[in-house]
Structure 1
Amino acid sequence: MIEQDAHGCTTNDQVTWSWAGLIRGMRSMVPLALGGLTDGIVWGVLAHQAGLSLIEVLLMSGLVYAGSAQFLAITLWSVPLAAGSILPIIVTTLIVNLRYLLLGAALRPWFARLHPMRTYLSLFFMSDENWALTMREFMEGRRDTAFFLGGGLLLFVAWVGSTVIGKMVGLAISDPVQWGLDFVFTAVFLTLLVGMWKGKSDLLPWAVAAIVAVGAARLLPGSWYILLGGLAGSLVGAIKSDKHVK
């Protein structure tokens, strides 16, 4: 009989943390980090268009460190930043990043065995790509938790560095419209939507989100329509998923 501890791991699982695992995590993440450079540069250009300084770009990329949330936040950004526009940015970023609660919970069986400092340091660098590769490692029987930190560090450096490059590129462009960069944000999110489409089951939540967003844009000032549309679509999607499970 295989015994399990309170975290669901078998008693013979040996959770480790080594420099070799950290380096292997970095190497495994190289293709994904290179693929994400374009997104970071695009965000940096958009940040420049929104009026963010180099220091603000560094702080947002380094502290928020969430590409999808940063793309949404930059659409809500105004210079100077009005008091009424801060709350939608905070709430929108929170909602977009709520998925990390689930991702972190999935890692708990292994990371709960580490010293808290190693756990919290590693989790700061969590990303969707890093989580997916690490979970594959664990499912295949490898238990070196430094793999997660190594991959996360590389992605972090790539993201922050590419957003700074994008900011500098934006400085060199006097007329973004001439280069078609006024359409960059729309193009990025169209690409994200195509990648997220899972079939006809997504049609109703997306339609509700669009209707609520358009209605809110007409009735409410500011950028609350983004938040309200996202909440409405998420609620419909959650209800549909719950009924399907039952």
Structure 2
Amino acid sequence: MTEAAPPPPVTLKGMLHGARLITPLIPGSLVFAAAFGTTAAQKGLSVLETMLMSAFMYAGSAQLVALELWRTDVWTGAAILAIATVVFTVNARMILQGASLQPWIYPLPNRVLWPSLALLTDANWLIGTRYHADGGRDAGVLIGAGAALWVVWFAGTLPGRLVGGLVDHPERFGIDLVMPIVFTAMVVPLWKGRQDTICWSVAALAALATASIAPGYMFVVAGGLAGSLTGALLGVLDDRRRRPHG
């Protein structure tokens, strides 16, 4: 009978390290949060409603997508269902990201595991994945990065809400490119060879194809699923090749 893996350590030192690793993303996150605050102001959300949305939803792209469908008049069941469906679609990638962390953080006790997943974002998932791939075990890195980014996101929402026209068009200044560029730079070191090239290429092609034929944000889910399934298939084929014959 195989013994259960021991839970990884969660230390203050690890949390502080994770918070430091998130530093390059702070400028882009602040602008992104302010853009959300500005959009919320234009949709008529109060300061309290806007801040509560950032505090509890904590999902930048999904929050902006929700505001695209936000009603300023009468709410109906269909309108609520539409927003819930779109938000779920945009955030469905978190299912795959959370699953990829399972070997590392699953042994944590529930009182630590669930808050750490509540703080999961693309940014701290990427930071945690790189850290763990390099041999790190302290889950505090994942938690600290997520908590630090939550503070940045929450704080950045307020000025955008209070000053409605603060960042109406961040693309004019190229600010909207800050986070994609940083993310790309962080992803590159995760590349491990031919299999990753195939998976990333399939994910990109699936996302582009879906974006051209399906409205909304289905391309996010399509790309993630296509890349994940390709990786799983290649893993199975690789295992078969390595098995001794006969």
Is the TM value for this pair above 0.5?
Answer: yes
Percent of pairs with identical residues: 30
**AA in 2 matched with 1:42:** A
Structure 1 residue runs without a partner (length 5+)? 174-178, 214-225
User: Residue 158 of structure 1 corresponds to which residue in structure 2?
Assistant: 152
Superposed displacement of residue 205, structure 1: 2.2
Contact 2:36 2:64 in 1 (8 A): yes
In the alignment, does 2:125 pair up with 1:131? yes
Contact 1:47 1:57 in 2 (8 A): yes
1:62-111 CA deviation, whole Å, 9 max, x = no partner? 11111111111111112235113211111100111011111111111121
Superposed displacement of residue 14, structure 1: 7.3
Which of 199, 210, 216 is 1:205 aligned to?
210
**AA in 2 matched with 1:60:** M
User: Residue 68 of structure 2 corresponds to which residue in structure 1?
Assistant: 75
- Distance between the aligned counterparts of 2:225 and 2:133, measured in 1? 28
- Distance between the aligned counterparts of 1:54 and 1:185, measured in 2? 25
- Distance between the aligned counterparts of 2:145 and 2:223, measured in 1? 35
- Measured on the aligned residues, the alpha-carbon RMSD in Å equals 3.6
TM, length-normalised to structure 1: 0.72
1:113 aligns to what SS in structure 2?
Answer: coil
Tell me the number of residue pairs that the alignment of Structure 1 and Structure 2 aligns. 211
**AA in 2 matched with 1:57:** T
**AA in 2 matched with 1:106:** S
Superposed displacement of residue 203, structure 1: 4.5
Matches for 1:84-99 after TM superposition, within 5 Å: 84-99=78-93
TM, length-normalised to structure 2: 0.72
Contact 1:34 1:158 in 2 (8 A): no
In the alignment, does 2:104 pair up with 1:110? yes
Superposed displacement of residue 186, structure 1: 11
- Distance between the aligned counterparts of 1:146 and 1:236, measured in 2? 29
Superposed displacement of residue 206, structure 1: 2.3
1:43-67 CA deviation, whole Å, 9 max, x = no partner? 1101100111111111111111111
- Distance between the aligned counterparts of 1:105 and 1:60, measured in 2? 25
Contact 2:8 2:137 in 1 (8 A): yes
- Distance between the aligned counterparts of 1:121 and 1:110, measured in 2? 15
Contact 1:14 1:143 in 2 (8 A): no
Superposed displacement of residue 146, structure 1: 0.9
